[in-house]
Structure 1
Amino acid sequence: MILKALYDYYHRSKELARPGMEYKEIAFLIVIDEQGNFLRLEDCRIDNKRCKSFLVPKSVSRSSNPVANICWDNCSYVLNYSEANLPLKNPPADIQKLAVKEAHIQKEREKNGRNYNTFCQKIEELHVALPENLSLKALHLFYGKGNETILAALQEDSLWEELCKNLTRNVSFRINGEPTIIPEDEELVNFYLNSLSDHRADRESRTCLITGEKGSLVELTTATPILGSQATAKLVAFQVDSGYDSYGKEKAYNAPISHDAEFAYTTTLTHLLRKESRNMFRIATRTYVFWASAISEVGMEAESCFYSLMSLQEDETDNPDKGVIQVEKVFKSIFSGEREVETDDSFFILGLAPNSARLAVIYWKNIPIREFAGNILQHFEDMDIVDYRKEKRPYKGVYSILSAVTLQGKVGDVQPNLPEAVIKSIFQNIPYPYSLYSACLRRIRAEQRTTQARVATMKAYLNRLSNNHHKLTVMLDKSNKNVGYVCGRLFATLEYLQKKSSGIDSIRQRYLNAASTTPAAVFGNLMNLSVHHEEKLNEPSVIFFRKLKNEIIDMLSADGFPTHLDIQNQGRFFVGYHHQMAEFYKSNKEDEDNVE
């Protein structure tokens, strides 16, 4: 199902590479003339992380033996040069360690030599096959000068030091005066694609599990690495002689996939995983990609809005809520039927994690786009809570939720399985994970501080519980007689009273944790302290606070304050606390501050 969805994406997209080709980032170009003389280096880097992409023959699959790409590769292949050729920095003082280090460097240099010879041999094979091709003739003459002569010429270029800092990045060639690079040469590309077809035609045809059609099968699938995985990590792979082989079948023959289908799904996944992709987001070690099944205005808007909801970066600096508001607007129009969608239009979400030499699928969901829109809207509704901060910021996205439950907001420190559990709750409209709720409580107790995201998350968790018969509202609910909610309101009243009378809120720092778990142990003392705080206020304020305290206390049972609040009522305590504080700041705008 996953591979078929990726395969379909390729065939409905118009921006992906044609079969046999791929867009590849090239960091530097070696510019030569038609006689193979080196002229200069060209820098194709956009910034420290990105380089310009070129449409080149698809990269080869590598194991232990060297295999060269078509007229592009890393510096080990193209120049017989890697970090092993650079001067040794901070050599070990110990003679034995130095000897081990030098032996390792020597092995790397020998490996460079094998890679370089393989690349030169590939150039010669192409030159023999296309002797009249000017680009290949120039490359033939360039490598005919010898590696030492080539390196000596390059080292005179002003960009050589920059190249030495990027030796693992890709390098290619361009003939001076030509607008395209050599791997884009039309005659070369056609020859490569034709030879690819001839090679596959000689192989036995079998039924592809993705398309259901007969075709030559791929033996090794293309790597589609993610952050944290090996560079050779694949979505489909079988380890030989490790219990994965069946009925004498080896490698990819355990799950036969045709070359065309393999190219389509790997090209799609690579496209979705690219650095600038707006169909991907990462949380800790997890990488998620998503896409709509159909090319339509609604599908594209759903993808864009979902990216805005999940993205860590906020594009709107003047009004951070603007992105969330637009997301809600688009999904409302889809769910209500204002924007027409086909009944079979779907939304796909694929979660991946690094797992040795493979990619682990940790989440997969195929959901009708209208149902998906409804689930997102339900999440917004459950997370909606009054916001009395001066600088309002989004708090309903996954990053905001997860950062609220980690120390210093570091999402990378979140529990390993929590991100997919939260995302599953949002996508499928099921109860939020208990681990998220308990993490909110732990962070509040550790910091003696509530935040907008924490309180909203606890409200959302509690409202989705099946045993919650009195749903928590967005704003203050004076009809809610839940003991935890009432105690939270009273604590907020006593804290605000202290702040109005003395300008401090020391009771929050000293008593918040105890009040939210064992109210009977602290509220008697707090009520006595409030009498002293009232002495510093004017008469109207005294009357206001006394009336409010009595109104809240009257909502408790005749037994008074409970000795202990269970885990759910502890959450309701903080929601009631937040609601009552919001009511105070709503009535007294001059006291409003930047509450987190």
Structure 2
Amino acid sequence: MILQALTAYYEQLVRQGKLSAPGWDDSFKVSYELRLNEAGQLLRVVPLLTEKTVGKKTVLAPRAMRVPAHEKRSSGIAANFLCDNSTYLLGADEKGKPERAADCFKACAKLHHTILDGVDSPAARALLAYFDSWDPAQAAAHPLLAEQWKEITGNANLIFGYEAADHSHSFVNDDPAIQNAWQTHYNDRSADSDMGQCLITGKYAPIERTHPNISGVPGAQSSGAALVSFNAPAFCSYGHEQGDNAPVSKYAAFAYTTALNRLLADRNHCKHVGDTTILCWAENAEPVYQDAMSMFLFGADEAAGIQESDVQAALKRLSAGQTVPFLEKELSPDQHFYLLGLAPNAARLSVRFFLRDTFGSFAQNLQKHAEEMEIDCSEKEKFRTLPIWAVVNETTRTVPGQPAKPSPQLAGDLLRAVLTGGRYPATLLNGVTLRIRAEQNVTRGRTAVIKAYYLRNYPTELNKEVYTVSLNETTNVPYLLGRLFSVLEAVQKAANPGINTTIKDRYFNAACATPGMSFPTLLRLSQKHLRKLNDGLATHYDKQITELMAQLPESGFPARLSLPDQGKFTIGYYHQTQKRYVKKNEEE
């Protein structure tokens, strides 16, 4: 299903003129140009690096160019046409294997002669003259290469350029005659392969033995990883080898990998949560659906003139089945939409999730998630609705200057629950609970997770009146205890302005789990704190404590609270604390 959806997406992009036909890679990363003259001599080496912003830094990155499709290499020698690394195009030996480097250069020269012999083009003749005259042994000492030898022979890809006698310049891959020669060679090579019925298209066609690599998944091999591969006897059956175990035509293999690489190269829509890379696309290949889904999941793009209120309004209308204008386009709730989550796994890619539904159905599930996660928060909060990455990060330890490292499995499980309307993973609640216990810090995000988890996973078994957006007057005992703890903390802060360590830092975990042991001590401390306050403030807090105590059962404080009841305690504490801050802000 994944490969079929990606192949259909590729064909839609080809119909719209956004991708080329099979045999070409539209976004291959190239770092340097080897510019040749008519005689095939190296005139200059031109860097093709462009500035790119990564986080807060600006770095130099290779340029994405349209080049002939590359061979998938493992340990053998396999040359590529027009564009390759320094070992194949220059014969450079940086690994102490001069014989292998020479063989790589010879293989590359042979491939170019096979394709370009007889081609009537000045650029083709210059290219063949280069391979006939270039001496790999002298490459490192060449004056045009010596100064940037380390950069050229690193992980850089090189491409040929051609400069005519009139100083006009072009890349050889743009020459029509060379393009036709490559296309003919590519089609003839495919025709020589074993034939079979393709599992994706259903057509009888040449079968691809090894599928092209997928590049751009963080944590995977830098040379690219496979989504489909058979590289051990345990994965094979009936004597088949490699791709014959699940026959996919060369066309379909090229189509789905090209579409996937394009999605991964699209930095505006390719998102990451933990180790999971999230891709999405609409069946009609309209990018506005990707824009909308990215904002629904990861927050509004204010640079594009879209505010969070606009995003939430669009989400509500879509969830109600209405067509919505968005970024000067229209979003239809009936449009089929796909979401794919990939994670690195040795030489292959692991599929965390693959979801297909109408855009409106996804919007309904996202709206449900937003309503369940909604909770009172400060006006200073950047997001009124928590993005997915912020929810996941609530389960991790925060270290200034270092990225969050959530559980690898959590991101995929949470996204699947959010997008399908299924149960939230237990690892989400466990992670948040552990962070609260370790840091004694009840944040807006952690409280929202606890509220949403119990609302969705136990809709008929728990007290729903506890899991509200803001403070409520329920008589639920754990909730009242959380409120009481917040009031006692407020009394301590009022009596000791600027105090660094409060009862929350010392007693929160104990009060939450074993209130029968902790609250008598806390109440005795509060009386000492009240005596430090002026009469008006002391009366104000004493009244709050008395009202909350009056609602507790006559049997006294419970000895222990279960995990769900500890969640109610946390929500009660947060609601009471938030109300105090809101009131303070209103007075200011």
- When normalised by structure 1's length, the TM-score is 0.87
Shift of 1:49: 5.8
Shift of 1:565: 0.9
Q: Which residue of 2 aligns with 1:573?
A: 569
**Which residue identity does 2:179 align to in structure 1?**
V
Q: Which residue of 1 aligns with 2:226?
A: 234
Cα pair 1:28 1:163 within 8 Å, conserved:
no
Q: Answer yes or no: is 1:46 the counterpart of 2:50.
A: yes
Q: Deviations over 1:19-50 (max 9, x none)?
A: 11112111010112112222211111114463
CA distance in 2, matches of 1:323, 1:574: 31
Q: Which residue of 2 aligns with 1:453?
A: 445
Partner SS, residue 349 of structure 1 = strand
Q: Deviations over 1:210-231 (max 9, x none)?
A: 1122222222211114322233
Shift of 1:267: 0.5
Q: Answer yes or no: is 1:374 the counterpart of 2:364.
A: yes
**Which residue identity does 2:19 align to in structure 1?**
L
Q: Which residue of 2 aligns with 1:207?
A: 197
Q: Deviations over 1:144-169 (max 9, x none)?
A: 333258626743468625634x6222
Partner SS, residue 288 of structure 1 = strand
Cα pair 1:488 1:577 within 8 Å, conserved:
yes
Q: Which residue of 2 aligns with 1:331?
A: 315
Shift of 1:576: 0.9
Q: Answer yes or no: is 1:487 the counterpart of 2:481.
A: yes
Q: Which residue of 2 aligns with 1:301?
A: 288
Say which is worse superposed, 198-207 or 4-13, in terms of deviation.
198-207
CA distance in 1, matches of 2:451, 2:406: 20
Shift of 1:284: 3.1
Q: Answer yes or no: is 1:7 the counterpart of 2:22.
A: no
Identity of aligned residues (%): 29
Cα pair 1:489 1:576 within 8 Å, conserved:
yes
Instruction: Work out which structure has the larger RCO, using CA pairs closer than 8 Å and 6 or more positions apart in sequence.
Output: 1
Cα pair 2:91 2:136 within 8 Å, conserved:
no
Q: Deviations over 1:307-362 (max 9, x none)?
A: 235559x865999xx76444322222212233176676222122222333322223
Q: Which residue of 1 aligns with 2:73?
A: 62
Cα pair 2:495 2:533 within 8 Å, conserved:
yes
CA distance in 1, matches of 2:552, 2:102: 82
CA distance in 1, matches of 2:512, 2:494: 22
- When normalised by structure 2's length, the TM-score is 0.88
Q: Deviations over 1:454-484 (max 9, x none)?
A: 1111111121123124241111111x22222
After TM superposition, list the pairs within 5 Å mapping 1:385-534 onto structure 2: 385-388=375-378, 390-393=380-383, 396-408=386-398, 413-464=405-456, 465-466=458-459, 467-471=461-465, 472-478=467-473, 480-503=474-497, 504=499, 506-534=502-530
CA spacing shift, 1:156–1:205, aligned 2, 3 Å: closer
CA distance in 1, matches of 2:24, 2:532: 78
Say which is worse superposed, 184-193 or 386-395, in terms of deviation.
386-395
Q: Which residue of 2 aligns with 1:114?
A: 103
Shift of 1:537: 2.6
Cα pair 1:126 1:136 within 8 Å, conserved:
no
1:155 to 143, 151, 154: 143
CA spacing shift, 1:318–1:404, aligned 2, 3 Å: farther
Q: Deviations over 1:82-140 (max 9, x none)?
A: 5x2xxxxxxxxxxxxxxxxxxxx433x3322221221122223234242x321121122
CA distance in 2, matches of 1:368, 1:456: 28
Shift of 1:389: 6.0
Partner SS, residue 323 of structure 2 = coil
CA distance in 2, matches of 1:62, 1:573: 58
CA distance in 2, matches of 1:317, 1:127: 48
Partner SS, residue 365 of structure 1 = strand
CA distance in 2, matches of 1:323, 1:404: 24
Cα pair 2:279 2:340 within 8 Å, conserved:
yes
CA distance in 2, matches of 1:59, 1:449: 52
CA distance in 1, matches of 2:147, 2:363: 51
2:24 to 21, 28, 46: 21
Cα pair 1:271 1:277 within 8 Å, conserved:
no
Shift of 1:79: 1.2
CA distance in 1, matches of 2:72, 2:566: 56
Q: Deviations over 1:348-394 (max 9, x none)?
A: 12222233332222312112211100111111111111112635346
Cα pair 2:45 2:144 within 8 Å, conserved:
no
Say which is worse superposed, 494-503 or 149-158, in terms of deviation.
149-158
Say which is worse superposed, 532-541 or 260-269, in terms of deviation.
532-541
**Which residue identity does 1:59 align to in structure 2?**
H
After TM superposition, list the pairs within 5 Å mapping 1:251-270 onto structure 2: 251-270=242-261
Shift of 1:509: 1.3
CA distance in 2, matches of 1:506, 1:395: 30
CA spacing shift, 1:542–1:302, aligned 2, 3 Å: farther
Cα pair 2:374 2:385 within 8 Å, conserved:
no
CA distance in 2, matches of 1:338, 1:315: 22
CA spacing shift, 1:157–1:247, aligned 2, 3 Å: closer
Cα pair 2:323 2:333 within 8 Å, conserved:
no
Cα pair 2:440 2:508 within 8 Å, conserved:
yes
**Which residue identity does 1:113 align to in structure 2?**
A
Shift of 1:499: 1.2
CA spacing shift, 1:181–1:311, aligned 2, 3 Å: farther
Partner SS, residue 7 of structure 1 = helix
Partner SS, residue 144 of structure 1 = helix
CA distance in 2, matches of 1:254, 1:307: 37
Q: Deviations over 1:230-289 (max 9, x none)?
A: 33521111235x133333332212212122212111100111112x43332223333222
CA distance in 2, matches of 1:4, 1:371: 21
CA distance in 2, matches of 1:421, 1:305: 22
* Gap runs ≥5 in structure 1: 85-104
CA spacing shift, 1:399–1:591, aligned 2, 3 Å: farther
Cα pair 2:36 2:44 within 8 Å, conserved:
yes
Cα RMSD, aligned residues only: 2.7
Partner SS, residue 273 of structure 1 = helix
CA distance in 1, matches of 2:78, 2:192: 21
CA spacing shift, 1:383–1:391, aligned 2, 3 Å: closer
CA distance in 2, matches of 1:212, 1:564: 63
Partner SS, residue 417 of structure 1 = helix
Q: Which residue of 2 aligns with 1:145?
A: 133
Count of residue pairs the alignment pairs up: 559
Cα pair 1:208 1:256 within 8 Å, conserved:
yes
* Gap runs ≥5 in structure 2: 52-58, 325-330
